[in-house]
Structure 1
């Protein structure tokens, strides 16, 4: 008899559970019909486009992305406690991005010296990576960091004489698709906000926390956002893989009184999408597939090759429960609560519908979790009554209510559809195994969203206002890219270590360099260092071999393998072929971005080595420049033939002449008018022009005519004339004994 009161209590509990279940079922019906609407629009639109548009028109081939010239693009990367991450990102971008005219600006903080030191090492190796130090100590909001980065970008534009066409959002842990910048470059003249999909990187199949992001983004960016763009013309930025036009950034700056990003917003990316839409700007979500013949998309059962070849951003998402809850609570505060306060309901009913979908998460996250708990209880009760001997049997809480059973049946069908849609879109990119695993992960995702919602509400209650909730950083992982992020050592310390110069020589060179000569050139010009020894030190600094090249002995068949435009732009000569690799000679370091671009443009693997100073300069003038001057080697050979010089003396004279030849851009840089990053952007713009580089610099306002004349005059002063050298040699040794 002692069990009877407990049975009464449990029966009463089941009776109350019925009314809770009814309320949940009604809301789930509304939410399920809402989701079904998006599904129907997506599939109807997809079928209609397949039977109409794509029957009349071919899909745009990725080769079309190469038609527009490369416009300058700037990538913004906020970095707070990102030691060991940004170097890998820059390395991978340099090796894989099929684009060259881009710059990465990394926002660091004055109280984060480790990240600053890491970024400094990256900047030394990659001229297109720039460190920005925010005005305030961190951590501030991501938006505040981006505002500092944006300000540094405009300052760089003034120094470098370039104008960025697109401004791209990325995080330090992003794996950027190789064709992403070409896609942005293709669209940026027509669109003001361009968003590409985000597909999380996979972890071990047991890590449901990290992999539930995979499920959500696969469906969100595979179906929901494309429908949103098609119906409302509005695209929420994902915070990464987003490109803004210059017009959009200038409009945001004007609206924000000099601040493009709202520093109090926890989801500044989401906020900007609405601000640009309100200004009538064009936004697009791009699912563009790069269908290469080599089948770049890895073959996996159930995978759709076109979907798996889409240009996208890949990154690891949090793999611990606490980190996932923190990140998602930030999203919920920003999108649901801050968004509701900042972005009121509009006059556009379609846009209001998607605002409702954004904000219903404040309720649906709780409802989904409670529904899962009720389902779990009912399954446990069913198992108890089925398996346990002599178990008590309770009437079903749905007994006798036909309408309720019908409601549950409809909800079951809607839930089955939800699972089917999730399986379809996850499988399309990741394969059928991950698609099927999305079903059990759905329940774990409900739990994470529920806990994140609780945390978001608690933070808002504690602060009294959703806009007072502090930005909460998520820690980042980066996939292994191979190789070592090797720091670039100063040339002076290498020369001292190799005992090629003394401390006094280095101090003197550092005091006097800059008047048209950089450190190594100054040492050579002032007979403190041999050109061969400088090449050895530069090779050690760059981690490549050193060699020598005689431009007058290069076979014509080898010279023609390197077009003049590329030889002059990158200041290289073809040295030889080694196992199918074209080995290039350079007098200085070639950054990884330029080396990768050379390989793409030549459509073959390339490597480089360092050669003594002047050898490439002489070779470029002999084989590739348009203006043909008197050949110095011919004058020297004629002097030998006329008996004015002996062969040994002539060889020594040639080495002296050759090592003191300077490229015009080297003089400009040494005089302080250009830096390596600015020079690279300038050469990219100049490569297809017909003007001389000097005239191009003046016409584009990069240098004044006076500066140009000063640099040319200094170049003439620093470079010896072969006729004068021969005359001097004769005066010193009139007998020419050799």
Structure 2
């Protein structure tokens, strides 16, 4: 009886390992195609976008009025330093910074008012509801405030730039946005997470993920003409396109206020309407990458909550909201975007298989004959295992290379050591996203399950707010 039970368990473990290997192999082939396209781009233009000239005169006048949207819920710790840095870096008179706050968040309101008292370009906007709602709901309130200002002044804005309350903006970014709006509808700049000395394993694991995504994957999407999903920070949208999106929704703004990842949906919706989207990697004359810099969550719980929100919005909500697109290219990109839960499942199965085989090996060393002969890997299975191992090594090389290029060799080495940490966070986030999504199916409205933020360590106010 016991041997029969063990045989059944071994059979199921074997089948689950086959499933995990298939998922990994398909994922590796998918990523390999992206790698090959990226290699071709590197050979043609060294992986850099050269369509936009970056001037060393950062105080040049803008071609039209620009707005910055910042949604803030319980951001009293970071919003002050962020706004001060933003106004110092972007001294343009044609700029208005709209900051959305909730009436039941007096600490954030007070922090915004302190900075607004020193710079009239900052406009505090109160939401219609107590918080939290969703970030998209807050952004829609800012959009309505912008429309009110346009009606009063009789002058329309040219573009809207979206940022988060903890972002450290680049001095050259506004000029890049202004020039790009001559030919583009949406522009996304790279995001560079901070390598946090006090959170080498949790907060810093975002470094390698964004380094690869914003050095390779997004450049490939830009090159092949796929829709560019915005990161929700460091992106600019042409004002007329926001008007079209708002009219299309027939509601009070262009953002999907029930979505947890309105930034992702916004980029794909703009592409569906025929807007030209670009992901731009530009450097200043002194060689600095024009990008948004930010410090990401430094504790496990916050990192899991943030990634769960991303998975829920991109992998679950967008299925019925955005569909699969009209072309094979759209379908391919959306399948890539929504593979988070499948990847988490594959990781769980892989780790279970590793643990089980470790037990089997240990028992074999003491003379216990496990598993039964029928569950031993076949030649085909062993070939797939070797392919899977090659895929893991290939991906590790890329992870090291992109991270080392952006942060140095030491951080590149730590990126390899953080792979198990990133996998565990992905598994925990996938589980949380699934349960949260099931709650919405039972009628629970999505809420802004936001994370607490910290000031970027390079920001002048960092020590004062630490």
TM-score by length of 1: 0.58
Residue 452 of structure 2 aligns with which residue? 475
Give the whole-Å Cα distance in 2 for the aligned partners of 1:471 and 1:202. 26
Matched residue SS, 1:125 = coil
- Say whether residues 1:62 and 2:54 are aligned partners: yes
Indicate the residue corresponding to 1:111 in structure 2.
104
> Is 2:225 aligned against 1:232?
yes
Aligned equivalents of 2:80, 2:389: Cα separation in 1: 49
Q: Distance in 1 between matches of 2:393 and 2:44?
A: 25
* Pairwise CA distance, 1:165: 1.3
Cα deviation for residue 164 of structure 1 reads 2.0
Report whether the alignment pairs 1:373 with 2:369: no
Aligned residue in 1 for 2:86: 93
CA distance in 2, matches of 1:61, 1:290: 9
The aligned counterpart of 1:348 is: 327
- 1:661-700 to 2 correspondences below 5 Å: none
Give the Cα–Cα distance (whole angstroms) in 1 for the partners of residues 297 and 147 of structure 2.
34
Q: 1:358 aligns with which of 334, 337, 353?
A: 337
Name which of 239, 244, 256 aligns with 1:251.
244
Distance in 1 between residues matched to 2:274 and 2:200, nearest whole Å = 43
Q: Contact 1:264–1:467 (CA<8 Å) still a contact in 2?
A: no
The C-alpha deviation readout for 1:127-157, integer Å capped at 9, x for no partner, is 1111101111111111111111112123334
- Name 2:276's counterpart in structure 1: 282
Secondary structure, in 3 states, of the residue corresponding to 2:144? helix
| Structure 1 residue 333 corresponds to structure 2 residue 312 | yes
Question: 1:134-186, CA deviations, whole angstroms, 9 ceiling, x for partnerless residues?
Answer: 11111111111111111212333444554321101101100111111111011
2:211 corresponds in structure 1 to 218
- TM-superposed CA distance for 1:123, in Å, is 0.8
Deviations along 1:381-423, one digit per CA (max 9) or x if unpaired, are: 546766xxx4646469874611111111111111111111111
Instruction: Please state whether the residue corresponding to 1:203 is helix, strand or coil.
Output: coil
Contact 1:110 1:138 in 2 (8 A): yes
Structure 2: distance between partners of 1:441 and 1:269: 27
Does the 8 A contact of 2:69 with 2:99 survive in 1?
yes
In structure 1, how many angstroms separate the alpha carbons of the residues matched to 2:461 and 2:259? 38
Could you state the TM-score of these two structures normalised by the residue count of structure 2?
0.90
| Secondary structure, aligned partner of 1:208 | coil
- The residue that corresponds to 1:455 in the other structure is 432
Q: How does 1:78-227 map to 2 (within 5 A)?
A: 78-97=71-90, 99=92, 101-160=94-153, 162-204=155-197, 207-227=200-220
* CA gap 1:59/1:346 in 2 versus in 1, 3 angstroms: closer
Structure 2 residue 402 is the aligned partner of structure 1 residue 409: no
Q: Structure 1's 202 and 400: CA in aligned 2 closer, same or farther, altered over 3 A?
A: closer
Structure-2 residue corresponding to 1:21 = 17
1:273 paired to 2:259: no
> Taking structure 1 as reference, are residues 92 and 206 closer, same or farther at Cα in structure 2, changes over 3 Å only?
closer
1:106 deviation in Å?
Answer: 0.5
Task: Point out where structure 2 has 5 or more consecutive residues left out of the alignment.
Answer: none
Distance of 2:424 and 2:211 partners within structure 1: 19
State the Cα distance separating 1:463 from its structure 2 match.
3.0
| Partners of 1:483 and 1:420 in 2: CA distance | 36
Q: Give, in angstroms, the shift of residue 484 of structure 1.
A: 10
CA shift, 1:82, in A, is 1.3
Q: Distance in 2 between matches of 1:78 and 1:450?
A: 29
Change (3 A) 1:8 1:345: closer
Q: 1:433 to 1:385 in 2, by over 3 A?
A: farther
1:84 Cα deviation after fit: 3.2
Q: Distance in 1 between matches of 2:357 and 2:387?
A: 18
Displacement, 1:373? 3.3
Deviates more, 1:215-224 or 1:375-384: 375-384
Separation (CA, whole Å) in 2 of partners of 1:385 and 1:290: 61
Query: Paired residue for 1:77?
Result: 70
Determine which structure has greater relative contact order: mean sequence separation of CA pairs < 8 Å that are 6+ residues apart, divided by chain length. Answer: 2
Sort the Cα spacing of 1:60 and 1:266 in 2 relative to 1 into closer, same or farther, 3 A: closer
What 5-or-longer segments of structure 1 have no aligned partner? 293-305, 487-738
Tell me, yes or no, if structure 1 residue 313 matches structure 2 residue 306. no
Alpha-carbon contact 2:10-2:375 (below 8 Å) kept: no
Contact (CA 8 Å) 1:333, 1:466: kept in 2 or not?
no
Answer with 1 or 2: which has the greater Rg.
1
1:62-95 Cα offsets, whole Å, 9 max, x none, are 3387697423211100111111322101211233
Following TM superposition, by how much is the alpha carbon of 1:48 offset from its aligned partner in structure 2, in angstroms? 3.1
* Structure 1 CA distance for aligned equivalents of residues 335 and 377 of structure 2: 35
Q: CA deviation at 1:261?
A: 0.8
* 8 A contact 2:52–2:179 mirrored in 1: no
1:437 is aligned to 2:411: no
Matched-pair contact (CA < 8 Å) for 1:81–1:114? yes
User: In structure 2, what is the equivalent of residue 263 of structure 1?
Assistant: 257
Q: Is the CA contact (8 Å cut-off) linking 2:134 and 2:448 kept in structure 1?
A: yes
Q: CA offset at residue 206 of structure 1?
A: 5.3
- 1:286-307: CA deviations, max 9, x gaps? 1112241xxxxxxxxxxxxx6x
What is the CA-CA distance between 1:380 and the residue it aligns to?
Answer: 5.9
Moved more, 230-239 or 280-289: 230-239
